[in-house]
Structure 1
Amino acid sequence: MDRRSSFVPSGYRGRLAPSPTGYLHIGHARTFCTAWKRARAAGGALVMRMEDLDRERSRAEHAEAALEDLNWLGLHWDEGPDVGGPFGPYTQSERTDIYLAAWRRLHEGGFIYPCLCSRKDMAASLGAPHESAGRGQDAEDEPVYPGTCRTLDASACGASGEAGPRGLNWRLRVPDGEAVEFEDGNMGRQRFVAGIDFGDFLIWRRDGVPSYQLACVADDAAMRITEVVRGADLLKSTARQILLNRALDLQDPQWFHCALSVDGQGRRLAKRHDALSIRELRRRGRKSDEVLGSAV
């Protein structure tokens, strides 16, 4: 029997979006379980999207393990790289044309500008390579950009709509001082101030890869996602993505951010915690319901 046949479709569309840069851990399991439960409770569709744009760290074996481990947990989906669907391909590395179309719209609207700053330049200008941890600290975070290239003559560095984004970093110009507010289905009212909590952020990298922010927004719109369920470490990303949706004239989905899982010492789980990976717990003989209840 088709595992999708028992679900009555509705307007709700959720998604699971693992990144194959390591084995999924029990924190991922709980967040993805929440996404699955919300989609099923709504009688809607659940989309599996493999976010493999990190070329240096993404591995095919981790992508395969993610699909296998989530299926083992009983978290089945209706569309994805293994089952197909009307909005494929469901692997980000195969969706470059969609991201380029979004870049062109941003460029034509005057929302973005080229940036020549390297990571080393950023570290030197800010005195540190990363923002200090705090409220809304983001898994895809970057330092608050000081605006060095905001007034750069784009033509002087060979930037043009015809040439596309290649060879340059591109940033979205944020409205400094403007509060970006949204209602989160789990965390309540959220508020971040552009230019303070985050600055002009990357939407395309000089190595030819779109940023997480741009790819996420473009994919959620193209796949008609109505609710984004993910970890609370991405709250600040939501503020950025609201600005991108506005620039691209896209409707925001609903947001639901889950509390982060921590280990016995209160440290946030990461993929380096191999002992707490779903794969390792399976090897030890743990049951799926035990894994879903393991994180604190």
Structure 2
Amino acid sequence: MNSLNYTGRLAPSPTGLLHLGHAATFWTAYQRAQQHNGTLLLRNEDLDPQRSKQEYVDAMIEDLTWLGIEWTPPVITQSKRIPLYREAFERLLSTGHAYACTCSRKDLAQMIAAPHEDTDDEPVYSGRCRPAKGTPPQAFQPNMNYRFRIPDEETISFTDLNLGPQSFTAGKDFGDFLIWRKDDLPSYQLACVVDDAETHITEVVRGSDLLKSTARQILLQRALALPAVDYFHTPLLRDEHGVRLAKRHDALALRTLRQQGHSPEDVVRMFST
């Protein structure tokens, strides 16, 4: 990696207060950028209109600043970038990489053969709506979900800069995944890939729960002819019961820790020990 060109990013979602687990990952991202004398960007991933709130945007900026993390402005806001995602989606649709899916939530629930891991956000899709090979590309229809057609049985391999060699098999570890939602918004996978490319991200630092998403995103990068990105996945912080930290852990929210009188140095020590 050329340190002079290093660009990383922080990518919180404003659906709750940042907690100790977020702080650990974001601190690592900040340190990685510092080590490479690079640039760090802040991306506000606010594509969940039901749960995203401005108060959480304000809180995450205040809490990150309090912790001592610095980034290069301005804050990148995903809800203001929909045309970029739409253009990428339409390219995938026109090249036959995407297709409409009419499956309901009930249909999808019935297709799950086994409970999916807490390290994956989407069950393996059965292919119920997948067009036969050789079918001409579909035209866009509103009020539809759209899936990315994976290359069956292909192994997607990459070397994580923290966790080492990784490999996932398309069709076994994950299936055709959502890229455009019926509410006319992109999925996390598509928006992430488009933003990383458009903002010239060279390394993505994030939690190990997104390792499988990395395999999906590599496929999207290839289909859209976008540059490859380096990845550095961090172990997840867990509570005393072994459950990974989530936004429901209010006692470990940075805001709560601050109110209890903890200093930024105290917080760093909490996830560094």
Asked whether the equivalents of residues 49 and 80 of structure 1 are also in contact (C-alpha less than 8 Å), the reply is no
From 70, 76, 87, give the equivalent of 1:76: 70
Mapped pair 1:191 → 2:167: yes
**What are the residue-to-residue correspondences of 1:249-288 with 2, within 5 Å?**
249-288=225-264
Q: For the residues of structure 2 that align with 1:80 and 1:193, how far apart are their CA atoms? A: 38
Q: For the residues of structure 1 that align with 2:86 and 2:117, how far apart are their CA atoms? A: 32
Where structure 1 has 5 or more consecutive residues not aligned to the other structure, the ranges are 1-8, 82-89
Mapped pair 1:222 → 2:198: yes
From 148, 164, 168, give the equivalent of 2:128: 148
Q: For the residues of structure 2 that align with 1:144 and 1:272, how far apart are their CA atoms? A: 26
Letter paired with 2:109: A
Q: For the residues of structure 2 that align with 1:285 and 1:270, how far apart are their CA atoms? A: 22
Give the match for residue 33 of structure 1. 27
Mapped pair 1:45 → 2:39: yes
Q: Secondary structure of 2:4's partner?
A: coil
Give the match for residue 22 of structure 1. 16
Distance 1:29 1:184, change over 3 A: same
Residue 45 (structure 1) shift:
0.7
Q: For the residues of structure 1 that align with 2:131 and 2:225, how far apart are their CA atoms? A: 25
Q: RMSD of the alignment, in Å?
A: 1.7
Letter paired with 2:128: T
Could you report, residue by residue, the CA deviation over 1:156-178 in whole angstroms, capped at 9, with x for unpaired residues? xxx61xxx463110000001111
Residue 208 (structure 1) shift:
1.1
Asked whether the equivalents of residues 10 and 45 of structure 1 are also in contact (C-alpha less than 8 Å), the reply is no
**What are the residue-to-residue correspondences of 1:58-97 with 2, within 5 Å?**
58-81=52-75, 90-97=76-83
Letter paired with 1:30: A
Aligned positions, number: 267
Q: Identity rate of aligned residues, in percent? A: 54
Could you report, residue by residue, the CA deviation over 1:76-113 in whole angstroms, capped at 9, with x for unpaired residues? 101332xxxxxxxx100110010011011111211011
Q: Secondary structure of 2:206's partner?
A: strand
Letter paired with 2:255: R
Letter paired with 2:82: T
**Moved beyond 6 Å, runs of 4+:** none
TM-score using structure 1 length: 0.87
Residue 265 (structure 1) shift:
2.3
Give the match for residue 242 of structure 1. 218
Q: For the residues of structure 1 that align with 2:184 and 2:238, how far apart are their CA atoms? A: 35
Q: For the residues of structure 2 that align with 1:104 and 1:186, how far apart are their CA atoms? A: 34
Q: For the residues of structure 1 that align with 2:113 and 2:227, how far apart are their CA atoms? A: 37
TM-score using structure 2 length: 0.94
Asked whether the equivalents of residues 184 and 257 of structure 1 are also in contact (C-alpha less than 8 Å), the reply is yes
Q: Secondary structure of 1:75's partner?
A: coil
From 142, 159, 170, give the equivalent of 1:166: 142
Where structure 2 has 5 or more consecutive residues not aligned to the other structure, the ranges are none
Q: Secondary structure of 1:49's partner?
A: strand
